[in-house]
Amino acid sequence: MKLWDKGFSIDKKIELFTVGNDREIDMHIAKYDVEASRAHAVMLESIGIITSEELEQLKSGLKVLAESIEDGTFIIEDSFEDVHSKIEHELTKTLGDVGKKIHTARSRNDQVLVALQLYYKENLEIINSKTKTFFDTLLGLAETHKTQLLPGYTHLQVAMPSSFGLWFSAYAELLIDDVYVLNAVSKIADQNPLGSAAGYGSSFPIDRDITTKELGFSTLKYNVVAAQLSRGKSERAIASALGGLCNTMARFAMDICLYMSQNFGFVTFPDELTTGSSIMPHKKNPDVFELIRGKCNKIQALHSEMLLITNNLPSGYHRDFQLLKENIINAFEDVKDILDIFNYSIQQIIVKDIDLTDEKYQYLFTVDSINNLVVEGMSFREAYQKIGSQVQAGTYKPDLGKEHSHIGSIHNLCLDDIKAKYPSKD
């Protein structure tokens, strides 16, 4: 039941080691292998390798497999190396010699490559959509809480006045940068590698434009060696893009953990969104956001892993590439879950009223006081020294009424402009 079966049995220890977790991880790409097989069959019929009747048989058999994948009854038993051998086996079992023709003019190399590209392409779109939902949620929170002030910090020292509107919309706008990168990476994934076979093409007169159109790719990887070399390169780019998005979410989650602590006390959440301690009954732990932070940081390390696996490999296929699949697919699945739970949880945030007249916040407004003196005619340096002297003497009295009117400041958030800035996929 191996696509490369030459009539002898492989050592069981070698088989166990080389197959690894492929059967489990291949469930994520099973439907894409079926889609690619259907497109490949259409192409084979167009060049006369199979008849129109055989094409209809293959399409019918692949439709049954697609339905079993969709309804969850599709299983890759231990007797199969991977999803590709399982699907060919099922076609052969049902259709006989017709099923054996499906592998004509392709290799398992371009078979897995095209299935992965289709998986990447679709799931990048899903992540893009979920990111937009998260973005909209944050802008909505920024609008709701735009008038509520929040201490701003530099070096974790009280610095200048901020607001919850500024805080929420800051992370919303950072997501735009992440989407720019996701869109760029989507273009990398949107190239058809099918037809590159083992990396050097085929002597059959295949029509790669047909499979490109059938599978909905915008273009193809023309050079067959380049198609094979894209294995690893695509994963590195994707890992970088997912890592950038996760960096934004990890930093936001860290802010939430910090702001929930009693020493800050800026936000909280309903009890049912938090956990407790086995011995301290007062605890209200932000476990969701700590796990978001941890999972996001783990995903940020993925680019280094992808780089180190593939960095100095020569051209051509190498079994090292198999090691890329599991963690890049797990990263996709994790990012989708993180976006869902973050969006679900942040909608239930409880923003607290903060008393900025509290003594620990008295120096939040020193810059505003300096600016007031400058407006009255004093040079900035003299005004800085005057307010600095008051701080040192303990005589400084803050002015809490100063408006910040410039673009992107606490009293001019430009939320509509940030919303309009969000990029389309193209």
57-70: per-residue pLDDT in tens? 999 999 999 999 99
For residue 284, the model assigns a pLDDT of 82
Q: Which CATH class is domain 108-204+223-351?
A: mainly alpha
For residue 425, the model assigns a pLDDT of 65
User: Tokens 């799931």 label which residue?
Assistant: 123
- Strand extents, DSSP E, 273-387: 350-351
- Strand extents, DSSP E, 218-290: 219-220, 267-268
Tell me how far apart the alpha carbons of residues 4 and 127 are, in angstroms, rounded to a whole number. Answer: 36
Reported as a single tens digit per residue, the pLDDT across 145-203 is 999 999 999 999 999 999 999 999 999 999 999 999 999 999 999 999 999 999 999 99
What ranges do the domains of the chain cover? 12-101, 108-204+223-351
Give the 3-state secondary structure of residue 117. Answer: helix
Tell me how far apart the alpha carbons of residues 116 and 329 are, in angstroms, rounded to a whole number. Answer: 9
The pair of structure tokens assigned to 125 is 């779109």
**Do the domains spanning 12-101 and 108-204+223-351 agree at the CATH topology level?**
no
Residue 412 has pLDDT above 60, yes or no: yes
For residue 12, the model assigns a pLDDT of 62
The pair of structure tokens assigned to 221 is 């990887």
> CATH number of the domain at 12-101, please?
1.10.275.10
Is residue 112 within 8 Å of 84, Cβ to Cβ?
A: yes
For residue 82, the model assigns a pLDDT of 87
Q: What is the DSSP letter of 10?
A: P
The pair of structure tokens assigned to 185 is 């990476």
Of 167, 176, 214, the residue nearest 192 (C-alpha): 214
